[in-house]
């Protein structure tokens, strides 16, 4: 009698784990504006930074190119994209469509604890402004929006929104420098007020203005 086959446990894939770690870390850096628009990257440099071989570095770059976070030229040059006026306008339009919808879907679940949490995050935004910390400001600002949007329970729309944020990350750093902020975004106060009042039209307007007004200042 032939004994039944016994499944052999698969050994962990260290290359796959390394590639995912590099991808997530590099993705976060790009989204938070830690890399300037048009800045060149090399596989060797990425591998050295994250202490991995060329293979996981190459795979992480491939995924980020597919998401529009990096560009790959015919010569093999990898860089963060320097966005044109048309591209900025397109991404601003996407934010204007996606983010008010997420906020609207979140509104019925916007309990007092959530609003308190958003108030605390907005205080963190103020601290980053006071420190003139551009990447900290971008990180906290995105946390403010993500914390609200998670209550929408619309993972597909949120995933699309985060892809837009990813493509805008380096440009948001340039925007921060141009705005020379001295206080947190005014429209965050309007978002919080609309949430407290259960005002959906006001919430949609506040979110739409908040996510597009600054971007359109970049158009030269």
65-85 pLDDT, tens digit per residue, is 999 999 888 777 899 988 888
Q: What pLDDT band is residue 171 in, cutting at 50, 70 and 90?
A: confident
87-101 pLDDT, tens digit per residue, is 889 999 999 999 999
For residue 10, what pLDDT is reported?
Answer: 46
Which has the higher per-residue pLDDT, 101 or 17? 101
Instruction: State what percent of residues in the chain have pLDDT above 70.
Output: 88
CA 206 to chain centroid, in Å, comes to 19
Judged against a pLDDT cut of 60, whether residue 142 lies above it is answered with yes
99-138 pLDDT, tens digit per residue, is 999 999 999 999 999 999 999 999 999 999 888 888 899 9
For residue 7, what pLDDT is reported?
Answer: 47
CATH for the stretch 14-80: 1.10.10.10
For residue 118, what pLDDT is reported?
Answer: 97
Contact 68, 166 (CB under 8 A): yes
For the chain, which residues make up each domain, given as ranges? Answer: 14-80, 85-217
- DSSP E strands in the chain: the ranges are 40-41, 71-72, 78-79
For residue 176, what pLDDT is reported?
Answer: 73
Own/partner long-range contacts of 9-17 (Cβ < 8 Å, ≥24 apart): 15/53, 15/55, 15/56, 16/56
Q: How many angstroms separate the CA atoms of 19 and 60, rounded?
A: 6
192-202 pLDDT, tens digit per residue, is 999 999 999 99
DSSP 34: -
Which has the higher per-residue pLDDT, 16 or 10? 16
For residue 14, what pLDDT is reported?
Answer: 55
| Average pLDDT along the chain | 87
Residue 105: strand, helix, or coil:
helix
Cα distances (Å, whole numbers) of residue 139 to 75, 92, 183, 220: 33, 18, 15, 25
Which of these CATH numbers, 1.20.120.530, 3.40.50.80, 2.102.10.10, 1.10.287.1770, describes 85-217? 1.20.120.530
For residue 11, what pLDDT is reported?
Answer: 43
* Burial class of residue 3 in the structure, from the number of CB atoms within 10 Å of its CB (0-12 exposed, 13-18 middle, 19+ buried): exposed
Residue 72: strand, helix, or coil:
strand
| Residue length of the chain | 220
Instruction: State what percent of residues in the chain have pLDDT above 90.
Output: 60
What is the mean pLDDT of the segment spanning 148-163?
97
What is the mean pLDDT of the segment spanning 136-144?
93
What is the mean pLDDT of the segment spanning 12-36?
84
């Amino acid at each position: 009698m032939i004994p039944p086959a016994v499944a052999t446990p698969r050994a962990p894939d260290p290359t796959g784990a390394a590639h995912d770690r590099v991808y997530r870390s590099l993705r976060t850096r790009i989204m938070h504006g830690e890399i300037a628009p048009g800045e060149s990257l090399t596989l060797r440099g990425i591998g050295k930074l994250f202490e991995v071989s060329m293979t996981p570095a190459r795979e992480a770059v491939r995924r980020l190119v597919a998401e529009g976070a990096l560009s790959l030229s015919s010569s093999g040059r990898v860089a963060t994209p320097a966005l044109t006026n048309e591209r900025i306008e397109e991404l601003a339009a996407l934010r204007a469509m996606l983010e008010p919808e997420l906020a609207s879907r979140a509104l019925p679940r916007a309990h007092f604890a959530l609003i308190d949490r958003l108030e605390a995050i907005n205080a963190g935004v103020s601290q980053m402004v006071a420190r003139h910390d551009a990447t900290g400001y971008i990180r906290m600002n995105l946390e403010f929006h993500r914390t609200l949007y998670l209550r929408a329970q619309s993972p597909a729309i949120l995933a699309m929104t985060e892809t837009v944020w990813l493509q805008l990350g380096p440009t948001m750093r340039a925007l921060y420098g141009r705005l020379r902020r001295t206080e947190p975004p005014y429209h965050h106060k309007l978002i919080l007020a609309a949430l407290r009042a259960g005002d959906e039209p006001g919430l949609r307007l506040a979110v739409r203005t908040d996510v597009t007004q600054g971007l359109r200042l970049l158009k030269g």
